[in-house]
Structure 1
Amino acid sequence: MGLDFNDETFRNDFTFKNSPRAIRRFPFPFDRDDYMYSVNMEPHVPGRPGSVFEHMFDVDEHYVAEMRDRAQVLADDPLRCQSLPHMTLAGWDLLELIMESKARDYPQWFELHKNGNHWHWINRPLQIEQKFTFLDETTLPCGPMEYITRQAQGDFTLQDQRDDNLWIEAGMVTTQADWSLDFDIGMSFHEWHAPVPKAHQMGVFDRALKFLLKLQHGAPVRRFNWTMTVDPLLDTSPENYHIWGPTKTTLTRENIGHRQHLRVELQTLHRLPRSNAIAFPIRCYLIKFEELVTVPKWARRLHRVVRDIDPELATYKGFIRNRELMVEYLSQFDDGAPTSAGWWPDA
């Protein structure tokens, strides 16, 4: 795959933007004109060539810039990466999964050579080369989970399974949508999902937990989640609410197209082989409204979703204050035509 990595920023001057190719492969999360919270799981199998589903872990034009931003977040707040002592084996499982997947799917950028437990990892975009002994933490510059997730887009949590429940007990979380690893670590599945409205009354999380407890190694699953973000800020954490929270008051008719972003999470879940833990990668994609509306189908559909969404969900997703402004802007691109099923631009 021929691809140039963007030299861009997700803070201060916000030079982030999507190329035309990135716009067309954006994982638009709505397959219909309305929205209600649901489990919406499907097998995480290879998708159409060029899509974000083509490979196990998507590497795109924002890779280098996102890894640079992650390093900055960690320098400012090391607690964004935590792992309880009993989760080290799960960290090695995750390292193996990511290294093997990237070396297989992107051989032009990543290489992994194995001689028994003696491994040699090469990451060309980040100019990293590391020889280490698998399962020997002293041969890496940091723990295995931290080492590999400093080189992988998106956030990652590791859930230990015990007592018929899942417990979030390790993670690398620097691109989250208003939740805190430092607050959630040690919580059970229902505890960390407690803030989500409507879903508990509908039994969504009871069904999701039953499903995940039966997740098998080699059969990962995926789902979408979404919210809204003013400016292309990856780090919308509670710890930094004083930075990004007030920006919601600065949107106008004149700047909403450029500054308002749809934020989509491609969430995948993988059973890990040695630890029996579950890895939960959460890959964040951003697209500004003025980019999104270049796909007419998406513009029509997003207008209808935002216009008709339950106010409680709009509040939970953080855009109730600017909902009417969004509806006004998007309505310009909704001609009332029917919108076909699916989210692909050409569907």
Structure 2
Amino acid sequence: MRVAPKPVQSFRNDFTYTNSSEAIKRFPFPFVEDEYRYSVNIESHTPKGGEGSVYEHFLDIDEHYLSEMAERAIVLEETPARCLSMEHMTLAGWDFLERMMVSLSEDYPSYFVLQRSDNEWCWENKLLNITDTFTFGDDSTLPMPPLDYIGRQVQGDFALLDQRDNDLFMDAGMITCPADWSLAFDAGMSFSEWHGPVPLAHNAGIFERALKYLTAIPVGSPARRLNWTLTINARMDTSPETYPSWGHERTSVTAENVAQKVYLRVELQVMDRMPRSNALLFSIRTYLISLEDISTNIEWAKRMHRAMKTLPKPLIDYKGLTRFHPLVVDYLSQFDK
């Protein structure tokens, strides 16, 4: 599907978010086997799946663009600290801005235009009615710092990881739609520290192998992986900071509403080396789909049922599924006869 943004829908309160039939078809379904286990499921981030695939371009802009940008503005208004950058990450912020602007303007020229003359740049975002001229590398010529400026115009969350001492440190980012984690809490942590709570993976050496791979990613060779969890309602922001707003929703699932209330939440995670700063960009593009929408694809429903019913209890607990996991398995079982 080519970009065709719908009018703004909400990810909170009345939850007017919906997926079109085209969005359902292109959803990045994460279960490739009948059982799910943690693994280093990383592949090269190259075009795959043909025109309209979520993997067609470096950045995926879809029908929810305006809705997600509206949600991002609300979150940043409520909690400005969801965007932060340590002093030594200034150059990485400009790296990030260049990567985003070049990718968007090349892949979606009907909506994004970038004109460059040496360090004098002009950026136009036709979807958000933004036009700015600035000097690349000079923060004073932009309305806000580069990470904050362009991060408000791209779907997904973004962390900029500083690489030093053969490790990665979360020293900058814009995280407004996280799945149960906090940039403010993880800021400055090393790769192993922010992955500390994940069960079953450490003894298998998964994170050690992943770190070795990530620190070796060169400029021009981005990699990707999928991650997933389940969330209640079409809520993007499930951060610890807002837990009082959404934590109780896990108790609201019943056999009657499970198909409408429970959403499969998939993250398309892309790792890309920044050329000037050597920082590693870690982008997290989130997609939401209800169990009701998944059931329109019987093969997906069967596969998900098998993955859910064999999910180890430590993963059920870690992903916060404990209260409603049996209801999900029961609902999906009808499609796996």
After TM superposition, the score normalised by the length of structure 1 is 0.95
Matched with 2:129 is: 127
1:213-224 matches, within 5 Å, as 213-224=215-226
Is the deviation greater in 316-325 or in 14-23? 316-325
1:100-119 matches, within 5 Å, as 100-119=102-121
Instruction: Give the C-alpha shift of residue 51 in structure 1.
Output: 0.8
Contact 2:45 2:223 in 1 (8 A): yes
Deviations 1:204-233 (A, max 9, x none): 000011111111000000000000100000
Instruction: Give the C-alpha shift of residue 16 in structure 1.
Output: 0.2
Instruction: State the alpha-carbon separation in 2 of the partners of residues 39 and 147 from structure 1.
Output: 32
Instruction: Give the C-alpha shift of residue 33 in structure 1.
Output: 0.9
1:215-294 matches, within 5 Å, as 215-294=217-296
Q: Is 1:23–2:24 an aligned residue pair? A: yes
Instruction: State the alpha-carbon separation in 2 of the partners of residues 152 and 231 from structure 1.
Output: 23
DSSP-derived class of the 1:268 partner: strand
Structure 1 segments, 4+ long, off by >3 Å, are: none
DSSP-derived class of the 2:324 partner: helix
User: What is the root-mean-square deviation in Å for CA atoms of aligned residues?
Assistant: 0.8
Which amino acid in the other structure matches residue 246 of structure 2? W
Which amino acid in the other structure matches residue 5 of structure 1? K
DSSP-derived class of the 2:267 partner: strand
Instruction: Give the C-alpha shift of residue 7 in structure 1.
Output: 2.4
Instruction: State the alpha-carbon separation in 2 of the partners of residues 47 and 144 from structure 1.
Output: 30
Q: Is 1:140–2:155 an aligned residue pair? A: no
Deviations 1:244-301 (A, max 9, x none): 1100001111111111000000000000000000000001100011011101110001
Query: Which of the numbers 151, 158, 161 marks the counterpart of 1:159?
Result: 161
Deviations 1:53-109 (A, max 9, x none): 000000000001100000000000111100001101001001000100000000011
Matched with 1:177 is: 179
Identity percentage of aligned residues: 53
Runs of 5+ unmatched residues, structure 1: 336-347
In structure 2, the CA distance between the partners of 1:2 and 1:149, relative to structure 1 (3 Å rule), is closer
Which amino acid in the other structure matches residue 9 of structure 1? S
Instruction: State the alpha-carbon separation in 1 of the partners of residues 103 and 187 from structure 2.
Output: 27
Q: Is 1:58–2:74 an aligned residue pair? A: no
Instruction: State the alpha-carbon separation in 2 of the partners of residues 30 and 178 from structure 1.
Output: 21
Matched with 2:8 is: 7
Query: Which of the numbers 97, 111, 122 marks the counterpart of 1:95?
Result: 97
Deviations 1:122-181 (A, max 9, x none): 101111111111000000111101111100111100000111111110010011000000
DSSP-derived class of the 2:231 partner: strand
DSSP-derived class of the 1:320 partner: coil
Query: Which of the numbers 80, 86, 92 marks the counterpart of 2:88?
Result: 86
Instruction: State the alpha-carbon separation in 2 of the partners of residues 137 and 316 from structure 1.
Output: 40
Matched with 1:205 is: 207
Matched with 2:34 is: 33
Matched with 2:47 is: 46
Which amino acid in the other structure matches residue 36 of structure 1? R
Instruction: Give the C-alpha shift of residue 6 in structure 1.
Output: 3.4
Which amino acid in the other structure matches residue 50 of structure 1? G
Instruction: State the alpha-carbon separation in 1 of the partners of residues 5 and 156 from structure 2.
Output: 19
Which amino acid in the other structure matches residue 120 of structure 1? C
Instruction: Give the C-alpha shift of residue 2 in structure 1.
Output: 5.8
1:319-330 matches, within 5 Å, as 319-330=321-332
Instruction: State the alpha-carbon separation in 1 of the partners of residues 11 and 231 from structure 2.
Output: 12
Runs of 5+ unmatched residues, structure 2: none
Instruction: State the alpha-carbon separation in 2 of the partners of residues 110 and 204 from structure 1.
Output: 39
Q: Is 1:150–2:152 an aligned residue pair? A: yes
Instruction: State the alpha-carbon separation in 1 of the partners of residues 289 and 295 from structure 2.
Output: 10
Contact 2:5 2:66 in 1 (8 A): no
Q: Is 1:318–2:317 an aligned residue pair? A: no
Matched with 1:338 is: none
